[in-house]
């Protein structure tokens, strides 16, 4: 679909295959606009046809120009914090950035202004955007790597649905204690809160459905360590950490779940790759996050060969 930005508005040229649809049907079918946004766009007159506000039962014809206001001023929930983002991908609709370890994805306490969301808020300001940052998924404080942010409410709603339908693929690499015997496998165990620890999670029959796939990339018998690739079907809090600990191979540096301490002072977990099909252009997007210095000290050549970073 050809769609172009015109200031705060975006314009789509109607094709022959879309003729005969009403504006409302187009918004639902082509842009997957949810009911709440449909109501908002209708009430605020954020949709035009050939530069005019018309009824949403209006039929579309080939070469019509449908315009929608994707950008509009919003309350800034994240005070901007100045820093340079390590951008892996960016266009008018969303961005993918490489989160460093040691910062939260979003504020967890009142007054916390040095999170990735605050940094993205500053980046939006430099682009003249008054929309609020929307993270589509999260990474733990001590996990680095690729993370996805939406630039406007419509693409946020679309990406949320894509994540729910497993159409956004997230690949992680981790270094775990011990030698993982199987070359690949799946951990399908529900995860719930640990009632004995405020922040800890555990495998629990009454927990939420959680599925993690793993694949061995390298075994280091000398150090009794295994480098593994992991992919998620679900996105539970601490999912990889809980599942690998349950398997008997906690992440190195993840002392909360039984891992041996690491000299770098953090768990060895990195979101190395994020893949999705662009919801508007249908382009296949693949973002690869460079490795943080030092945390995969003996395994960088294996990783670089695997992912061509």
The CATH number for 192's domain is 3.30.2350.10
Check whether 264 has a pLDDT greater than 80.
no
Q: pLDDT (tens digit, 9 = 90+) per residue, 51-109?
A: 999 999 999 999 999 999 999 888 888 999 998 999 999 999 999 999 999 999 999 87
Is there a single domain that holds both residue 264 and residue 191? yes
* Same domain as 213, residue 180: yes
* Residues of the domain holding 219: 171-270
Domain count, the chain: 3
Q: What pLDDT does 176 receive?
A: 97
Identify the band that residue 262 occupies on the pLDDT scale cut at 50, 70 and 90.
Answer: confident
Q: Is residue 103 part of a domain?
A: yes
Do 158 and 221 belong to one domain?
A: no
Per-residue confidence (pLDDT) for residue 198, from 0 to 100: 81
Residues 30, 8: one domain? yes
**Does residue 308 fall inside a structural domain?**
no
In a domain, 140, yes or no: yes
Judged against a pLDDT cut of 90, whether residue 196 lies above it is answered with no
Q: Is 182 in the same domain as 265?
A: yes
Let me know whether 180 and 265 are in one domain: yes
Query: For residue 260, what pLDDT is reported?
Result: 83
Last residue of a domain, one of 147, 165, 183: 165
Residue-wise pLDDT tens digits, 131-173: 999 999 999 999 999 999 999 999 999 999 999 999 999 999 9
Rounded to 10°, the helix 153-164/35-43 angle is 170
Residue that is last in its domain, among 69, 101, 118: 69
What's the chain's average pLDDT? 93
Q: What are phi and psi of 121, to 5 degrees?
A: -60, -40
User: Can you tell me the distance from the alpha carbon of 218 to that of 257, in angstroms, rounded to the nearest whole number?
Assistant: 22
Residue 233 inside a domain? The answer is: yes
- pLDDT > 90: what percent of the chain? 84
- Retrieve residue 80's tokens: 């901007």
Distance (Å, whole) CA 99 – CA 240: 17
Q: What is the pLDDT of residue 207?
A: 94
Catalytic: 140? yes
Residue 147 and residue 178 in one domain: no
CATH code of the domain containing 26: 3.10.290.10
Q: Specify the pTM.
A: 0.92
| Statement to judge: residues 127 and 185 lie in one domain | no
- What is the predicted pLDDT for the residue at 1? 65
Backbone angles phi, psi at 213, to 5 degrees: -105, 140
Domain membership flag for residue 301: no
Catalytic pick among 64, 104, 140, 142: 140
265 pLDDT more than 70: no
**Percent helix, strand and coil across the chain, each to the nearest 5:** 20, 30, 50
| pLDDT computed for residue 195 by the predictor | 85
Give a yes or no: residue 279 inside a domain.
Answer: no
Q: Is residue 11's pLDDT more than 70?
A: yes
State the pLDDT at residue 307: 92
Looking at the domain assignment, is residue 280 inside a domain?
A: no
In a domain, 33, yes or no: yes
Per residue in 202-242, pLDDT (tens digit) is 999 999 999 999 999 999 999 999 999 999 999 899 999 99
Of 165, 193, 218, which residue constitutes the final position of a domain?
Answer: 165
Would the pLDDT of 48 be above 80? yes
Beta strand spans in 42-178 (E): 47-49, 65-69, 87-90, 94-99, 134-135, 144-150, 169-177
Q: Give residue 291's pLDDT band: very low, low, confident or very high (50, 70, 90).
A: very high
């Amino acid at each position: 679909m050809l769609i172009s930005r015109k200031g705060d508005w975006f314009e789509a040229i109607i094709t022959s295959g879309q003729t005969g649809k009403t504006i409302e049907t187009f918004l639902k079918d082509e842009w997957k606009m949810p009911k709440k946004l449909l109501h908002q766009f209708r009430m605020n007159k954020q949709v035009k046809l050939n530069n005019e506000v018309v009824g949403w039962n209006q039929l579309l014809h080939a070469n019509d120009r449908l315009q929608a206001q994707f950008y509009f001023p919003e309350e800034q929930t994240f005070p901007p914090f100045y820093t340079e983002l390590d951008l892996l991908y960016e266009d008018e609709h969303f961005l993918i950035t490489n989160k460093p370890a040691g910062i939260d994805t979003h504020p967890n306490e009142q007054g916390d202004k040095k999170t990735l969301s605050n940094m993205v808020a500053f980046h939006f300001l430099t682009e003249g955007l008054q929309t609020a940052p929307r993270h589509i998924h999260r990474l733990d404080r001590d996990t680095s790597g690729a993370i996805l942010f939406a630039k406007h409410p419509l693409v946020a709603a679309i990406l949320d649905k894509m994540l729910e339908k497993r159409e956004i693929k997230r690949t992680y690499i981790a270094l775990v204690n011990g030698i993982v015997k199987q070359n690949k496998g799946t951990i399908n165990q529900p995860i719930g809160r640990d009632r004995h620890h405020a922040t800890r999670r555990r495998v629990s029959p009454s927990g939420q459905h959680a599925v993690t796939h793993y694949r061995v990339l390298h075994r280091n018998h000398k150090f009794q360590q295994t480098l593994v690739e992991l992919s998620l079907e679900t996105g539970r809090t601490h999912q990889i950490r809980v599942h690998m600990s349950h398997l008997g191979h906690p992440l190195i540096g993840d002392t909360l779940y039984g891992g041996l301490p690491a000299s770098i002072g953090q768990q060895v977990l990195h979101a190395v790759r994020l893949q999705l099909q662009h919801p508007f252009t249908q382009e296949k997007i693949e973002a690869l996050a460079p490795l943080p210095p030092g945390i995969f000290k003996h395994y960088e050549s294996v990783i670089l060969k695997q992912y061509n970073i």
